[in-house]
């Protein structure tokens, strides 16, 4: 879910550095022989056609470190306090840069390991190139978290059944699709979802899809929790 007043993109540009203190550099990184890791607020790198982001953007955040063996095998350790509000969205991003009508396919497979405590969702965050529209696909969630906007009913699309919500954060239109049951692995056919938003509902036009992100929107993870993406693929053309 996007911030209540500013998009993540705007937050990333405007928010001052969070005062994590000296503990950030010393935070307990996971014991993986990772190709890359970072505990920096905006730490990022490119691997295998994907971009990894630590992306700690919310207020009141704690320490967080991301590691990656590749763009499709990565994880994060996060210790955010048990307060409300999204603290971070560590993610892996694939850039598509094709309009909805020019896409012949857009699919993704995922396999994750997530904690049984904390407050978070595991989600795709899909943006058009102008960042006017945000499409979120929640494949699982835990704790006191919820989507932005009002309920629009239930629909079966892309191989899954979703509860749909529509809202705005004041900057972007946000369409959230919450899987009706939690899933830790699967394949999502994303293109029919985009066409349903465009053609069936008329909520947006023939937008050019830019970023397809997959990650963890973390509200709280007190004491330190691990989130692991065991496998991720995003393909479209």
Q: What angle do CA 153, 114, 87 make, to 5 degrees?
A: 75
pLDDT of residue 17: 36
pLDDT at 12 over 50: no
In the chain, what percentage of residues exceed pLDDT 70? 86
Q: Quick one: pLDDT at residue 48?
A: 95
Could you report the per-residue pLDDT of 128-171, keeping only the tens digit for each?
999 999 999 999 999 999 999 999 999 999 999 999 999 999 99
- Please report the pLDDT score of residue 203 as a whole number: 98
Instruction: Classify 139 in phi/psi space as left (phi over 0), alpha (psi -120 to 50) or beta.
Output: alpha
Question: What are the structure tokens assigned to 112, written together?
Answer: 């994750």
What mean pLDDT, rounded, does the chain reach?
89
| Cβ atoms of residues 124 and 191 within 8 Å | no
Contacts of residue 212, Cβ cutoff 8 Å, sequence gap at least 6: 93, 94, 95, 96, 106, 108, 124, 126, 190, 234, 236
Note the pLDDT of residue 26: 37
Q: Which of 161, 138, 167, 163 is nearest to 153 (CA)?
A: 163
Tell me, yes or no, if the pTM score tops 0.85. Answer: yes
The whole-angstrom separation of Cα 164 and Cα 153 is 6
Per-residue model confidence (pLDDT) at position 10: 37
The tens digit of pLDDT for each residue in 176-189 reads 999 999 999 999 99
Domains (ranges, CATH) in the chain?
8-236 (2.60.120.180)
CB contact at 8 A, 68 and 74: yes
pLDDT of 184: 98
pLDDT at 237: 78
Is the predicted pLDDT of residue 7 greater than 60, yes or no? no
pLDDT in tens, 69-83: 999 999 999 999 999
Distances in Å between the alpha carbon of 178 and those of 58, 121, 165? 22, 10, 8
Distance, in Å, from the CA atom of 89 to the CA atom of 216, rounded to the nearest integer, reads: 5
């Amino acid at each position: 879910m996007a911030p209540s007043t500013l998009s993540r993109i705007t937050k990333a540009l405007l928010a001052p550095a969070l005062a994590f203190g000296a503990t950030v550099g010393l935070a307990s990184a996971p014991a993986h022989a990772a190709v890359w890791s970072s505990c920096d607020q905006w730490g990022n790198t490119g691997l295998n056609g994907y971009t990894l982001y630590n992306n700690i953007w919310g207020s009141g955040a704690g320490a967080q470190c991301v590691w990656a063996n590749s763009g499709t095998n990565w994880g994060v350790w996060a210790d955010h306090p048990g307060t409300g509000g999204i603290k971070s969205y560590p993610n892996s991003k694939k850039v598509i840069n094709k309009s909805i009508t020019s896409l012949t396919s857009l699919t993704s497979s995922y396999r994750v390991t997530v904690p049984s405590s904390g407050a978070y969702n595991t989600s795709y965050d899909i943006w058009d190139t102008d960042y006017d529209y945000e499409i979120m696909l929640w494949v699982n969630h835990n704790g006191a978290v919820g989507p932005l906007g009002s309920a629009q009913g239930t629909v079966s699309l892309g191989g899954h059944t979703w509860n749909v919500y529509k809202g705005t954060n004041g900057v972007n239109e946000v369409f959230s699709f919450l899987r009706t049951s939690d899933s830790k692995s699967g394949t999502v056919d994303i293109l029919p979802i985009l066409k349903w938003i465009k053609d069936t509902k008329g909520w947006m036009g023939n937008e050019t899809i830019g970023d397809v992100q997959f990650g963890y929107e973390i509200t709280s993870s007190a004491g330190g929790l691990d989130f692991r993406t065991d496998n991720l693929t995003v393909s479209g053309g």
